[in-house]
């Protein structure tokens, strides 16, 4: 990616931050439905709707007649169709990048003209650092499902965990994944052969970098020692920042979408030796497009990372009851299944994990790094620093 493109991306990020930074706190008018209880406290933390009544909420939602939900995956349209078929409420599901959703929800709150009723939102740092404390959105948990949602999944409300994994082409590498350690990707052998979405345009990659430093530093150092036989020596504040620096300097191929990553690694006519980082959703292309891809299931210390998708309702929604009913829907197996077609784990422990995980991804708890929601605010504060760190080293 050119330096000019990087500058444009940085400018866009700063503009969004500036717009959000001056957003006023919106009122909670319309946030309470048939339950009648407050849905959030002054800190923006979730409060369980103890007076929840599904029949009353359904009646109120049907009276409102319509609801709009934004998500970063096109699968939200399937969720919308299923919800509309079940309740007869006109439902619009819109695929939108998280940065676009952030800006639109912020500007709508400022203008007091809200059209997005709720969002399934993948950027936890901006959710806890901007949208929630500014009361642009709130977290609502129905009492009938509260016991099925563990404490670590409530603040913010985790709706679904998906995964990004490192992949290879088994036609090019018939003996299996050609790397077995994350540090291999920073070696001269793999210079210009690693491909991933540009971290400056993909927030959960930047968050992954930060979470590696705060939560998985010891694992990354142990992997370095296992790979080189030496302890890691670095002037950086964490092993993660050192790994990020080395990866950035190793001339990775950056793209604007996972589709381009999977094509660069696994397209039917692809013969170049490459490793790529993609969402497990791209494994639908194995059957759909004849792609040749497998998970690097021997990679240490982990083959990828879980990224969370949170649920939040717009404080100024004109259809608050329909929004709540849709949120209740996606917290059930019936509602979230359309988003689990290529794998995933619901934030509701009563919902079985997807049976469609790609081959090789058999144990999420052992194979994948998991984001710690208690560190999302720290991730928010460190996001710009990590973006700058990547930008300065990827030249």
Number of domains composing the chain = 2
User: In terms of C-beta density within 10 A (0-12 exposed, 13-18 middle, 19 or more buried), how is residue 286 classed?
Assistant: middle
58/113 same-domain check: yes
| Token pair in block for residue 147 | 């016991």
207/319 same-domain check: no
Residue 65 lies in a domain: yes
9/156 same-domain check: yes
157/270 same-domain check: no
Looking at residue 342, what is its pLDDT?
82
Tens digit of pLDDT at every position of the chain (395 positions): 443 344 433 434 333 333 333 333 333 333 445 544 433 333 467 879 999 999 999 999 999 999 999 999 999 999 999 999 999 999 999 999 999 999 999 999 999 999 999 999 999 999 999 999 999 999 999 999 999 999 999 999 999 999 999 999 999 999 999 999 999 999 999 999 999 999 999 999 999 999 999 999 999 999 999 999 999 999 999 999 999 999 999 999 999 999 999 999 999 999 999 999 999 999 999 989 999 999 999 999 999 999 999 999 999 999 999 999 999 999 999 999 999 988 999 999 999 999 889 999 999 999 999 999 999 999 999 999 999 999 999 98
3-state secondary structure of 78: helix
77/201 same-domain check: no
156/259 same-domain check: no
Residues 6+ apart with CB under 8 A from 219: 301, 302
Cα(239)–Cα(227) distance, rounded to whole angstroms? 14
183/152 same-domain check: no
Residue 80 lies in a domain: yes
321/299 same-domain check: no
33/113 same-domain check: yes
197/55 same-domain check: no
For 303-319, give one letter per residue: b (16+ CB within 10 A) or e: bbbbbbbbbbbbbbbbb
Q: Say what angle helices 239-249 and 217-228 make with each other, to 10 degrees.
A: 60
Residue 239 lies in a domain: yes
216/314 same-domain check: no
Q: Which residue has the tokens 């078929």?
A: 85
Spell out the SS3 assignment of 309-339. Answer: EEEEEECCCCCHHHHHHHHHHHCCHHHHHHH
245/282 same-domain check: yes
DSSP letter (8 states) at residue 281: G
Residue 133, domain CATH: 3.40.190.10
The residue range of the domain holding 143 is 3-161+308-358
Cα(250)–Cα(291) distance, rounded to whole angstroms? 26
């Amino acid at each position: 990616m050119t330096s000019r493109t990087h500058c444009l991306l940085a400018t866009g990020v700063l503009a969004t931050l500036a717009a959000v930074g001056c957003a006023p706190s919106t009122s909670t008018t319309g946030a309470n439905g048939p339950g009648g209880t407050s849905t959030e406290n002054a800190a923006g933390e979730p409060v369980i709707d103890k007076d929840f009544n599904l029949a009353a909420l359904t009646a109120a939602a049907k009276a409102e007649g319509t609801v709009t939900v934004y998500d970063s995956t096109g699968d939200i349209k399937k969720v919308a169709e299923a919800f509309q078929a079940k309740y007869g409420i006109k439902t619009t599901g819109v695929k939108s990048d998280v940065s676009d959703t952030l800006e639109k929800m912020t500007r709508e709150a400022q203008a007091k003209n809200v059209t997005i009723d709720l969002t399934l939102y993948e950027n936890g740092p901006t959710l806890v650092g901007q949208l929630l404390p500014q009361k642009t959105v709130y977290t609502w948990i129905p009492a009938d499902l509260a016991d099925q949602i563990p404490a670590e999944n409530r603040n913010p409300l985790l709706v679904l965990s998906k995964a990004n994994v490192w992949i290879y082409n088994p036609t090019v590498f018939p003996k299996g994944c050609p790397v077995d350690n994350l540090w291999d990707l920073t070696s001269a052998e793999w210079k210009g052969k690693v491909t991933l979405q540009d971290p400056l345009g993909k927030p959960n990659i930047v968050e992954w970098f930060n979470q590696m430093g705060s939560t998985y530093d010891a694992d990354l150092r142990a992997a370095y020692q296992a790979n080189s036989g030496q302890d890691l020596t670095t002037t950086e504040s964490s092993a993660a920042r050192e790994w990020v620096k080395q990866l950035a300097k190793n001339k990775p191929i950056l793209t604007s979408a996972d589709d381009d990553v999977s094509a660069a690694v696994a397209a039917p006519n692809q013969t170049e030796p490459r490793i790529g980082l993609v969402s497990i959703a791209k494994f639908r292309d194995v059957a759909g497009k004849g792609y040749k891809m497998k998970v690097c299931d021997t990679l240490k210390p982990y083959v990828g990372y879980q990224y969370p998708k949170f649920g939040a309702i717009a404080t100024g929604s004109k259809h608050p009851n329909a929004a709540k009913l849709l949120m209740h829907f996606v917290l059930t197996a019936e509602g979230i299944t359309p988003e689990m077609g290529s794998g995933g784990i619901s934030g509701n422990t009563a919902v079985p994990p997807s049976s469609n995980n790609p081959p090789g991804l058999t144990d999420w708890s052992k194979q994948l790094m998991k984001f710690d929601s208690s560190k999302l605010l720290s991730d928010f504060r460190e996001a710009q620093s990590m973006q700058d760190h990547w930008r300065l080293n990827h030249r």
